[in-house]
Structure 1
Amino acid sequence: MTPQQRTSADLETEHRFQTLFEQAPFSVQLLSLDGRTLRVNQAWKDLWASQEGDPLLEFVLSDYNMLTDPQLEAKGVTPLLRRAFAGEAVRLPTILYDPKALGKPGASRWVEATARPIKNDEGRVLEVMLIHEDVTGRVLADQELRASEEHFRTIADAIPQMVWSTRPDGYHDYYNRQWYEFTGVPRNSTDGESWNGMFHPDDQDRAWETWRRSLSTGETYEIEYRLRHRSGQYRWVLGRALPIRDDGGQIIRWMGTCTDIDEQKRVRDELLATNRRKDDFLAMLAHELRNPLAPISTAAHLLKTAPHDASRVERSAAIIDRQVRHMRALVDDLLDVSRVTRGLVELEKLPVEMKGVVASAIEQVRPLVDSRGHQLTTRMASGDIHILGDRTRLVQVVANLLNNAAKYTPSNGALRVTLEVGDRLTISVVDSGIGIDAHLLPHVFDLFAQGERTPDRSQGGLGLGLALVKTLVELHGGSVRAESAGPLKGSSFIVSLPLLDSDRLLGNAPAARAEPAAAARALRVLVVDDNRDAAETLSLFLESLGHTVIVEQDPMRAISTARHDIDVYVLDIGLPGLDGYELAERIRKQAGGRPATYVALTGYGSDVDRQRGAAAGFDHYFVKPADLAELSQVVACSVPHAS
């Protein structure tokens, strides 16, 4: 090949290189061995928005030296460039390059670059080629994403719930601060599938199955489970997660929360348990109230069919009296619990000798103890033992415990009452009865709590006694607890009460029981009650004491009847059309100051009702069923009109 031909070939190669160099889709900058720019292609000019005649381009092609650029030196690029000039291909870091830092116009750009040495056949470096990539859009997008993530993390850490996030396949890769504070685990230790180990063993399979179903179907994840707290205890939480979808409907992430619901769940479970106990109690109440109705109904029938058979009348009356007293005791228990648990009971606190209290309680329960063949033993500390309290209520406490022990101990069992004195007085009631299940033991003093009742259980009662005991003992500044080794192993109830100093002792004799008072003189009594049977039976009782009784069921007719000389008005409160309060006021106004005794006899027994009765002018207020002896005393003490 002639020199002429070689020159032509070289020119053609040079032309091809130039064409390729200019048309390359990426920015190319050729550097001489001293770091100056030999040439740049069109893509480089486009990258820096610099064309022919532009100050930046002229500067780069004449005065600029990359090896002495302070921006590159400050960002650690210069040492890497020198390695390229030494013959090594080097990838340069992503940097923000600003022409203004060189005193030239132009926009700053984020770029990535690769420096490659161009060598001759002997391996000597002739030039260095820089290939740039404009990554401004990607870097700004990444910055925006990081800022968004940081904003999200700030919000997530401010939320009181635990927040977590997973990839589309369910891999957990984020938890907020509350998660780590709640669980106390090291950061990132629950990434991936390790979260399931934080659940209670009994909840793990259920949580996994629910989570897998949500991942496969895209359904919302929602479940309650127990999560291990940093204290080592498990607390109930509500776990929820929603899928995040792109515009095409594909799940790109799951966002979830865990909310501590331990307290709410325990309260809810306790309310449900209380409701169940209440329903059981109402069923027992209906049962207990129906039981006396059968013998009362039968006895009433016998009285009608054989009114002249004295023996049958006496036996029937005794049956009715016993069953009414039983029903009255049930209703009294209900009212007592209502008043005590609402704090409406005021104790009459006086020095009380406790051996006498125990003796009175035993006397009350003795018929039940004897009827079941129990052996009752007592052990008392020496000397008198006094506390400051309400004797009636203290007798009620011990009697309730003894009654409970007697009922729930099979026939021919053993009961023991012990009084011990230390820093405080301790009263123990121990039985050999059916015992208490471990699950019931913490709840025996709860209202409506009672062991399982089956059709063959005949102990009766409403399960209110122990609730009353607890409240009354606490009102005396004491405490009570139950102990049992389990079913069929008996029970113990231990009451602790503060002792009274001996220098504060005073007498406290019990009041004598009143007896029905026969009339010293006949009185005219008006009984107004819309319950015909109640009105007639009360009329018969008052007439048996020698009084003249008029009965009215209609309050308006009672106003007319009251125009006659009446000594005692016995008025029901719940009357139709006109209640007993207004009726008493009208009668009193109509009487014009004529003296008479006004007695309310009603089923309403609250303090508010009694106050209304006093305001309406009632002299006495009895709650049904009234103590007939006390009522007879009130009537007997009334002043008759002058004839």
Structure 2
Amino acid sequence: MTSPSTPAAGVQTEQRFQTLFEQAPFSVQLLSVDGRTLQVNRAWQDLWGTHAGDPLLAYVLSGYNMLTDPQLEAKGVTPYLRRAFAGEAVRIPAIHYDPAEIGKAGTARWVEATARPIKAPDGRVAEVMLIHEDVTERLLAERQLRASEAQFRTIADAMPQMVWSTLPDGFSDYYNQQTYEFTGMPPGSIDGERWAEILHPDDRHAAWARWRLSLETGEPYEVEFRLRHHSGEYRWVLGRALPVRNEQGELVRWMGTCTDIHEQKRIRDELLASNRRKDDFLAMLAHELRNPLAPISTAAHLLKAASSDPAKVQRSADIIERQVRHMTELVDDLLDVSRVTRGLVELDRQPVEMKAVLAHAIEQVRPLIEARGHELAMRMPSGDVHVLGDRPRLVQVVANLLNNAAKYTPPDGALSATMAVDGDVEIRVADNGMGIERELLPHVFELFTQGARTPDRAQGGLGLGLALVKSLVELHGGRVAAESAGPGTGAAFTVRLPLLKTEGRAGSAPSDAMALPPAARKLRILVVDDNQDAAETLGMLLETLGHEVHLAHDPGRAIEVARNDAFEAYVLDIGLPGMDGYALARRLRALASDDATFIALTGYGSDGDRHRGDEAGFDHYLVKPADLGELARLLQRG
């Protein structure tokens, strides 16, 4: 028999080792203690795409030293190898290897490796074995996944909606940046079921119930609820989610969005409320028009039946006359508010003494006030108070407010009408009557809005008075506001109008009040108005005052002129063709000097129009027909 320690046994062991080495399913590279490659197996050759006779294999087996390779040093591999040669088993992270870097043909790969020292019986490192693992496909897949996730996050963060996802059981695990910006919550603070904490308490049950139904059935999720905004208010959002399924049809994820619909819902609710008010108004209009028809019809029959009785004929005629007059007033109210709110009314502006306006309005309403037993208190400032306006329309404004106060105050109530001057003219009409509900208060100046009609309230009117008041006051460049603490507390209406300064000449004639002083300094002025007559007359007036005026009738021409010339003042209409005056002001501001004065002279006079004028860079905003004396003074002030 042959002993295991005989040379033959050693040869068999070596052959067995070589067979295992060559047939190992993983790449193996043996290194000598000085770093040279001693041997590689078949899997190593397959890994790098080389075989016997290839230059790459010949190069590696001809004494290639991994410890002195500058490419490996640059990739950070050498320190790991030194630790292995010192006796430590180390894991070398994924490195990209390309045989072309050493000038040889072969397959580039991402490779992870384990360096294990092979030790002699005395503990010295005899060789180092490198075991390679090709991780190219895994790393490329991970890279593609990361790129896909990055692309998804970029798209999700760019969306105006809040985007979120959950696991199949509904556990939230992702929110986009918009979610955190909307809610003001720190990232990660609303994962899982904690998102419900930022739902409005009144909406949580319905939202949860609908969500549980979707989780149980796999049906798409859609519900409206209020979500806490970073400002602290709750805003309405539309929540939607769809199930994501794999190729086998299994639900693997939910993807959802929350869209801020607060403004849309507010506008929708306001439109519904407006439609209800319109329907109520039409029903009331039909009632108000039918009321006079009944006595007219009865009187007509009475005329037929008692035509020979002069007294009855006279009473019937009086009834018909009164009721026809009442119907005429109703129709006149409708036509008047229609003309004013559509901007079809032109004001005849003159200096108007407001104490006389208030006195005239009181005289108009006094019969109703006395009939209902109201006490009226008045307070006026000393001296004359003037505004530039249309006297009959201003009387109409104050009379409507007094009439409204008298109607909505129970008999023997208290009314007050006061006037004050504090830069503007302030007229305040107050009562201790029915008051205004909180929900109605923001809408009292809208068409078709009217408070409850009570049996003790005087007949007449369609609830159009306050809408007419607001439109007329704004046409005069003023504003009106309503106040009430609620039902039973009374109400107050305050009108503010620009004060017309009369230079100490109280009661002067209109011609004196309209006198225009000559310019203290000559200005170069660009006037832009598509109404050529308006532009030319204004230009002639400003030239008469001593200014140099250039005219333009469209925005394009105005910009061209401004590019080639410098002006100290710009007077612009707003309703221009092709480009409105707000946009034109911004363009001209970019061309003008910093101290140039911009004045809007326009027929648009609402608070919103004035706000847009401020944003566009206008220094002053005048409503046509403007007080030309005021325009002259503004040009001098700059």
- Range of TM-score over shorter length: 0.7 to 0.9
Instruction: Indicate the residue corresponding to 1:577 in structure 2.
Output: none
Instruction: Indicate the residue corresponding to 1:527 in structure 2.
Output: none
* 1:427 to partner: Cα distance: 1.9
Indicate conservation of the 8 Å contact 1:365/1:399, yes or no: yes
Q: 1:178 to 1:85 in 2, by over 3 A?
A: same
* 1:68 to partner: Cα distance: 2.0
What's the secondary structure of 1:438's corresponding residue? Answer: coil
Residues 569-588 of structure 1: per-residue CA shift (max 9 Å, x gap): xxxxxxxxxxxxxxxxxxxx
Q: 1:486 to 1:24 in 2, by over 3 A?
A: same
1:309 matched to 2:309? The reply is yes
Residues 242-298 of structure 1: per-residue CA shift (max 9 Å, x gap): 333322223444444444444333333322222221112112111211222222221
* 1:113 to partner: Cα distance: 1.3
Instruction: Indicate the residue corresponding to 1:617 in structure 2.
Output: none
Q: 1:348 to 1:161 in 2, by over 3 A?
A: same
Q: 1:22 to 1:458 in 2, by over 3 A?
A: farther
**Counterpart code for 1:57:** L
Instruction: Indicate the residue corresponding to 2:465 in structure 1.
Output: 465
What's the secondary structure of 1:482's corresponding residue? Answer: strand
* 1:221 to partner: Cα distance: 3.4
In the TM superposition, what are the counterparts of 1:108-187 in structure 2 within 5 Å? 108-179=108-179, 182=182, 186=186
**Counterpart code for 1:437:** E
**Counterpart code for 1:296:** I
Instruction: Indicate the residue corresponding to 1:73 in structure 2.
Output: 73
Indicate conservation of the 8 Å contact 1:351/1:504, yes or no: no
Of 161-170 and 365-374, deviating more is 161-170
Instruction: Indicate the residue corresponding to 1:281 in structure 2.
Output: 281
Indicate conservation of the 8 Å contact 2:226/2:237, yes or no: yes
**Counterpart code for 2:18:** Q
Indicate conservation of the 8 Å contact 2:99/2:105, yes or no: yes
Give, in whole Å, the separation in 2 of the partners of 1:117 and 1:482.
92
Indicate conservation of the 8 Å contact 1:165/1:175, yes or no: yes
Instruction: Indicate the residue corresponding to 2:358 in structure 1.
Output: 358
Instruction: Indicate the residue corresponding to 1:43 in structure 2.
Output: 43
Instruction: Indicate the residue corresponding to 1:17 in structure 2.
Output: 17
Give, in whole Å, the separation in 1 of the partners of 2:243 and 2:351.
72
* 1:183 to partner: Cα distance: 5.0
Give, in whole Å, the separation in 1 of the partners of 2:490 and 2:397.
19
Instruction: Indicate the residue corresponding to 2:327 in structure 1.
Output: 327
Give, in whole Å, the separation in 2 of the partners of 1:454 and 1:17.
110
Instruction: Indicate the residue corresponding to 1:573 in structure 2.
Output: none
* 1:336 to partner: Cα distance: 1.0
Instruction: Indicate the residue corresponding to 1:84 in structure 2.
Output: 84
Indicate conservation of the 8 Å contact 2:80/2:90, yes or no: yes
Q: 1:453 to 1:123 in 2, by over 3 A?
A: farther
* 1:117 to partner: Cα distance: 2.2
* 1:342 to partner: Cα distance: 0.5
Give, in whole Å, the separation in 2 of the partners of 1:249 and 1:132.
39
Give, in whole Å, the separation in 1 of the partners of 2:104 and 2:169.
51
Q: 1:421 to 1:143 in 2, by over 3 A?
A: closer
Instruction: Indicate the residue corresponding to 1:272 in structure 2.
Output: 272
Instruction: Indicate the residue corresponding to 2:52 in structure 1.
Output: 52
Instruction: Indicate the residue corresponding to 2:448 in structure 1.
Output: 448
**Counterpart code for 2:19:** T
Instruction: Indicate the residue corresponding to 1:532 in structure 2.
Output: none
**Counterpart code for 1:272:** L
Of 192-201 and 102-111, deviating more is 192-201
1:296 matched to 2:305? The reply is no
Indicate conservation of the 8 Å contact 1:71/1:97, yes or no: no
What's the secondary structure of 1:38's corresponding residue? Answer: strand
Structure 1, unaligned stretches of length 5 or more?
509-643
* 1:429 to partner: Cα distance: 1.4
Give, in whole Å, the separation in 1 of the partners of 2:482 and 2:369.
21
What's the secondary structure of 1:222's corresponding residue? Answer: strand
Residues 453-482 of structure 1: per-residue CA shift (max 9 Å, x gap): 578877553221111111111222222211
Structure 2, unaligned stretches of length 5 or more?
511-638
TM-score, scaled to structure 2? 0.72
Instruction: Indicate the residue corresponding to 1:426 in structure 2.
Output: 426
Residues 465-504 of structure 1: per-residue CA shift (max 9 Å, x gap): 1111111112222222112222111111122223334448
**Counterpart code for 1:357:** V
1:393 matched to 2:386? The reply is no
* 1:91 to partner: Cα distance: 1.1
Q: 1:454 to 1:399 in 2, by over 3 A?
A: closer
**Counterpart code for 1:340:** V
Instruction: Indicate the residue corresponding to 2:249 in structure 1.
Output: 249
Q: 1:322 to 1:348 in 2, by over 3 A?
A: same
Residues 200-246 of structure 1: per-residue CA shift (max 9 Å, x gap): 55555554554444444433333444455555555444443333332
Instruction: Indicate the residue corresponding to 1:101 in structure 2.
Output: 101
Give, in whole Å, the separation in 1 of the partners of 2:170 and 2:121.
56
* 1:47 to partner: Cα distance: 1.3
* 1:25 to partner: Cα distance: 2.0
Instruction: Indicate the residue corresponding to 1:221 in structure 2.
Output: 221
Residues 383-405 of structure 1: per-residue CA shift (max 9 Å, x gap): 44433322221221122111111
Of 426-435 and 193-202, deviating more is 193-202
Of 332-341 and 222-231, deviating more is 222-231
Give, in whole Å, the separation in 2 of the partners of 1:191 and 1:121.
58
1:373 matched to 2:399? The reply is no
Residues 382-435 of structure 1: per-residue CA shift (max 9 Å, x gap): 444433322221221122111111111112211222233443322221111011
* 1:92 to partner: Cα distance: 0.9
Instruction: Indicate the residue corresponding to 2:566 in structure 1.
Output: none
**Counterpart code for 1:339:** R
Q: 1:402 to 1:458 in 2, by over 3 A?
A: closer
Of 199-208 and 57-66, deviating more is 199-208
Aligned CA RMSD, in angstroms, stands at 3.0
* 1:332 to partner: Cα distance: 1.1
Indicate conservation of the 8 Å contact 1:434/1:489, yes or no: yes
Q: 1:180 to 1:124 in 2, by over 3 A?
A: same
**Counterpart code for 1:298:** T
* 1:189 to partner: Cα distance: 5.2
Instruction: Indicate the residue corresponding to 1:475 in structure 2.
Output: 475
Give, in whole Å, the separation in 2 of the partners of 1:102 and 1:507.
105
**Counterpart code for 1:297:** S
Indicate conservation of the 8 Å contact 2:410/2:456, yes or no: no
Query: Share of identical aligned residues, percent?
Result: 71
What's the secondary structure of 2:500's corresponding residue? Answer: coil
Of 4-13 and 127-136, deviating more is 4-13
Indicate conservation of the 8 Å contact 1:225/1:237, yes or no: yes
**Counterpart code for 2:266:** R
Residues 348-400 of structure 1: per-residue CA shift (max 9 Å, x gap): 22333333333332233233223322222333334444333222212211221
TM-score, scaled to structure 1? 0.72
What's the secondary structure of 1:19's corresponding residue? Answer: helix
Give, in whole Å, the separation in 2 of the partners of 1:357 and 1:59.
111
Give, in whole Å, the separation in 1 of the partners of 2:506 and 2:229.
53
Give, in whole Å, the separation in 1 of the partners of 2:61 and 2:419.
111
What's the secondary structure of 1:351's corresponding residue? Answer: strand
1:63 matched to 2:66? The reply is no
Structure with greater Cα Rg = 1
Give, in whole Å, the separation in 2 of the partners of 1:396 and 1:325.
18
Q: How many residues align?
A: 508
**Counterpart code for 1:138:** R
Give, in whole Å, the separation in 1 of the partners of 2:287 and 2:440.
23
Residues 107-134 of structure 1: per-residue CA shift (max 9 Å, x gap): 1011111122233455443322222111
Instruction: Indicate the residue corresponding to 1:594 in structure 2.
Output: none
Of 154-163 and 368-377, deviating more is 154-163
Q: 1:217 to 1:66 in 2, by over 3 A?
A: farther
* 1:156 to partner: Cα distance: 4.0
Give, in whole Å, the separation in 2 of the partners of 1:34 and 1:500.
104
**Counterpart code for 1:446:** E
1:412 matched to 2:412? The reply is yes
What's the secondary structure of 2:67's corresponding residue? Answer: helix
What's the secondary structure of 1:111's corresponding residue? Answer: strand
Q: 1:142 to 1:456 in 2, by over 3 A?
A: farther
